[in-house]
A = this chain, B = another copy of it.
Amino acid sequence: MLKNITVIIFVIFSWQSFSQNSTAKEDSIMLKKIYNTALLNGKSYQWLDYLSNQIGARLSGSINAQKAVEWGETELKELGLDKVWLQSVMVPKWTRGVTEFAYIETSPGTTTNVPICALGGSVPTPIGGIKNPIVEVQGIEDLRKLGTSEIEGKIVFFNRPMQADLINTFEAYGGCVDQRYSGAAEAAKFGAVGVIVRSMNLRLDDFPHTGTMSYGDLTDLEKIPAAAISTNGADLLSSMLKLNPKIKFHMNMNCRTWKDVESFNVIGEITGSEFPNEYMIVGGHLDSWDLGDGSHDDGAGVVQSMEVLRLFKEVGYKPKRSIRVVLFMNEENGLRGGKKYAKVAKSKKENHVFALESDAGGFTPRGFSFDCNDTNFKQVLSWKSLFEPYLIHYFVKGGSGADIGPLKNEKIVLAGLRPDSQRYFDYHHAKNDTFDAINKRELELGAATMTSLVYLFDTYGVK
């Protein structure tokens, strides 16, 4: 009897082990197929070429944003998905107007121009601009130390740089961006008449980097104009202030906020063959800032997400669950698209089990960050070796993506693609975020890496 049991146990274990190995082998063959197809016969680069070079910058509410919506819908329809539709959403509309102008005045008539750009959502300066004394601070907490007496009637210059010794540049961004987001609202409380913020850029160069800001609870009358200055400009300004604290700063901007306008999320779906009511989504955001052409932020994420569904068709994989690509509108200055998508999903009681966003640039993929429970994270870690041949090693718990954030609940797995982050802030929200800064292979590897993760979650389900 004991002998028989031993034999049975042996058989069971052998079968389990065989079955596990054979599944792992199938998975590894599928991943190889996905990567090969992305690299040999990918479409993401060609799509991005069109989006960046034929449409270009596409700030929410702009004509280009509408063109991007129409392009997205057309391209998704061409893929022969089961469903493609537009989801209406009201978005803010802000325009920069003519290019901003600024100079440092060391004495009447002696001026040095510096590159600035209005922060997204800023009010304009009065016509003709303002020229005022300027005071440098290293952060919001310095405002209280200086007090109204030192700030009233002045422009406040926030100059705390990104921390270069952090390996993950997004951490360095997180450690600075409060100056850009809340600097104007806080400085206005102490009587400041304007705000200049050092660009969120680890490089020393001449590009000012825009980005969203908020006036918090300020009334329209209390709002003050806010602009970013290039890192070289910030260093120059700071050194001139050290030599002569009495220099004045001139800034002239005629940006404007308009009434909200209608725009759209663009959505495409391959309906699941076994569990059509379990939804898995991949997405990026279709809107961009207005300075470059938004190739890294987030044209890359848009075309990589589209590519996930195209690659499934190309390699002949029919998902068990319903897979949607969502091209979100208005991530940059409102997140209205992400909020709307989640709201509709909730009202329709759609069971979203997994969401993956690519919004960290089209660079060589290093892995993913997961916002999920421990069981699901354990499941992810069990797939690590499958990604090894593609040099994907980075699997951590953490944030995912802004657009998919509103879908968060106790069960869903949220994930963000994590490309190499070293170059991202060289381009982020600046004029040089353009198609020539994209490497085709790096972009394609990102799409393949995303597709592989979606394939695994679809195959094994979300626990």
Give A contacts to B, CB under 8 Å. Answer: 35-36, 39-40, 164-165, 167, 169, 202-203, 364, 366, 389-391, 393-394, 420, 422-423, 426, 439-442, 445
Contact = CB atoms under 8 A, between A and B. Distances in A.
Given A167-B389, A202-B441, A420 B364 contact: yes
Contacts of A169: 441
Contacts of A441: 164, 169, 202, 422-423
Given A36-B165, A202-B441, A203-B440, A422 B364 contact: yes
A167 B440 contact: no
Given A35-B167, A423-B439, A423-B442, A391 B391 contact: no
Given A167-B445, A391-B393, 11 more contacts: A39-B165, A40-B164, A167-B391, A169-B441, A364-B364, A366-B391, A393-B393, A420-B420, A422-B439, A422-B442, A426-B439
Nearest to A389: B167
Q: How many copies does the complex hold?
A: 2
9 contacts: A35-B167, A167-B389, A203-B440, A391-B394, A393-B393, A422-B439, A422-B445, A423-B439, A423-B442
The interface centre, meaning the residue of A390, A423, A445 with most chain B CB atoms within 10 A of its CB, is A423
The interface centre, meaning the residue of A35, A169, A390, A439 with most chain B CB atoms within 10 A of its CB, is A439
Contacts of A426: 439
A393 B390 CA distance: 12
A427 to B, nearest CB: 11
A441 B366 CA distance: 17
A187 to B, nearest CB: 29
